[in-house]
Structures are given as structure tokens and as C-alpha cells.
Amino acid sequence: MNGRKNIKKQHCEVIVGAQCGNAVLRGAHVYVPGIVSASKFMKAGDVISVYSDIKGKCKKGAKEFDGTKVFLGNGISELSRKEIFSGLPELKGIGIRMTEPIYLSPSFDNVLPSYLFLQNLPSVVVTHVLDPQPGEKILDMCAAPGGKTTHIAALMHDQGEVIALDKISNKVEKIKQNALLLGLNSIKAFCFDGTKALKLNTVKDAEGKPPFLPESFDRILLDAPCSGMGQRPNMACSWTLKEVTSYQPLQRKLFTVAVELLKPWGVLVYSTCTITLAENEEQVAWALRTFPYLQLQPQDPHIGGEGMVGAGLSLEQLKQLQRFDPSVVPLQDTDIDSLRDARIEDMIWLANKDCIGFFIAKFIKCKST
């Protein structure tokens, strides 16, 4: 969607990193660690134009920058240039309070933090598709930062067991913090590599810790590591072909372990936040060939589109997949003013479609392996 076009650009400029810039487009203020450069005479209280250094070329502390930059809107500086780059221990907190962002996205920072966990629409849908039930044992294989994990526990009324794995320790801490903040007791988070989560000998489980015996879980969510090409906003692409193609084999390793860990008649949901055929529909076709006892299932709710052709799946199978594709939304030349007269149903349809790119497949395991 095009941003507001009537914002007057200021002489005083601040350049922020690409990640910070993406957050600003989604309603955030500018936090000090995200600031890369600021105009020479910037003082606290100045009105500033904020730009994103989408290619990461701006030098920290520069006084001006003529490289590729994208305008994000105006704000008021909370600190002077000198304070931001004074070499003191890293400052934290808000550096620029956005007053005229180009997108009118509301900020949800610290809004009811012990009640709300903000997620993209498809991430909310994927947990409903998994449909966890109270008392079940559920595995979230690649769980950080824990949005889907906590949603699973909430849908189960915190009754049962939700095992969350991630192989990066500070990300596992994040899952634990989020579970604590939301008051959820059914979540157990472990720093563990999902590809090694299957116990190969049949010695008794070590008090519910990974690795796990085959057929241990009622439902498994594999929200797989992926190339992330569906993530928005994203204004520059830095992936190499080698990086993009590296995900398919990793996803297959994780999927194979998931199938082994699933009980007969258990449910496996596979999802990615990317748009490539290789990581999505091709993986489904591979799974159905490799594990003949897996059956594709219809999804509820189904508010995304169907699967994409090209991986050899039947039209019936494609209907059972769910693909969120923001490029199909006819919003390219829509401005806020032209939406004022739209019907509420049309607005909801647009809001449901204008999300990140995402893919969901749901399987049931029809017999013991």
C-alpha cells in the first residue's frame, strides 16, 4: 500500500538500520540502537526526517549519507546527536518519537503485555489449523520467540503439555519469558536441535526432556526455518542463491523427525513464512511420496488462497493447502482517502489479504511407523 504522500521532508536527517526501518513501517518509534547516522547539528526536540539504510552501507556516526535510503516519515528527536554517539555505554530507549510516519500503523508496544502477544494473521491461523486440545502432548519444533507456542497453550486452556524446541539458547530464554509473562504453565522450552529430537535407543525418557521416543506426540507444529521471503516490510533482498536453496534439505530432515515423533492418527502442521515452491508445495509433494501413510487434510479456518501449481499436486490437493500471498491484494494505488467510502466487508477482506507471505499444510498420520 502506498504511504501518505504529503509529508514535508526536513533538513535534519537521521538514518536508521534496515531492521529498525522495517519496525517503524509497522508502527514503532525509533530506538537509539537502531540509529546509524544523524545530521551534524541535531538537538533534542528537533523535527527530524527518518530514512532507512536498506543496503546497510551507512557508516555508524556519519553526519550525512548519500547512498540508497528510503523515507519513513518525520519525528521528534529525544536526544542530541552528541548524546547518541558520545561513546558512553550503549544507550537504550526511544531516540526519535515518530509523529508523521508514512504508514498509519498503530504502535502496540507494551499494550497489555501479559494479555496480548502480537502476531501476523497467518501465524494466528496456523495454530487454529493445528487445533490443539486440552490434555494433549504437543511439540513445537522450531518455536522461538514463542508466539505460536503460547497460542497453542492458550487454545488448550493451559491443560496438557507443550514442548518447545529451539537450538539457539537466547531464543529459548525468550520463549520462557513470554510463557512467564502470559502466565502459561504447560510450556516446557528446551535448547535443542529439532533434527536430533528423535531418541534412537528405546531406553526410558529422561523426565520429558529431548530427545523423545517415537510416537510421543498427539500434534506437532513444524514452523520450519525458511528463506523468509514472505516477511514484510522488506525493502532490499540480500539473499544468495546458495542461501535460498539451503533450506529445503534442512526442512526435510526436520519433517522426517516430526513424522517419527507423531502418534498414529496424530496431526502434523508444516508452515513457512516464505513464498518459494521449493520450500512449500514441493515439500508437500515430497512428503506424500516419502511417507505414504500421511494424508493431506483440509484446513479450518481457510482464509488464505490455495496452493500454487508446479509441484505435481492435484487440484484437489492444492485446495487443501493454504497460501497467503500479499501480491494479490489490489492496493497499489489506494490511498487512505479512497478507502473512507469502502464497505466494512471489503475493508476486512483487504485486511485479511494484506499480510505477510505464508504457507500452511496439514497432515494426518494414518498408521504406526
Q: Which residue, chain included where needed, has cell 535448547?
A: 191
Single out the residue of 203, 186, 183 nearest to residue 139, CA to CA.
186
* Residue 355 annotated to the active site: no
E strand map for 180-324: 187-191, 217-223, 262-272, 294-296, 322-324
How is 47-106 classified by DSSP, letter by letter? EEEEEEETTS-PPTT-S---SS-EEEEEEEESS-HHHHTS-SS---SEEEEEEEESS-PP
Residues 6+ apart with CB under 8 A from 126: 148, 221, 223, 269, 271, 358, 360
Q: Are 269 and 55 in contact (CB under 8 A)?
A: no
Enumerate helices (H) and strands (E) in the chain, giving the number of each.
Answer: 11, 14
* DSSP label at residue 359: E
* Distance of alpha carbon 33 from alpha carbon 23, whole angstroms: 13
Catalytic residue among 58, 226, 273, 355: 273
Q: Which residue, chain included where needed, has cell 544468495?
A: 240
Q: Give the three-class secondary structure for 282.
A: helix
* Distance of alpha carbon 269 from alpha carbon 131, whole angstroms: 10
* Helix, strand, coil share of the chain (percent; to 5): 30, 25, 50
Catalytically active residues are: 273
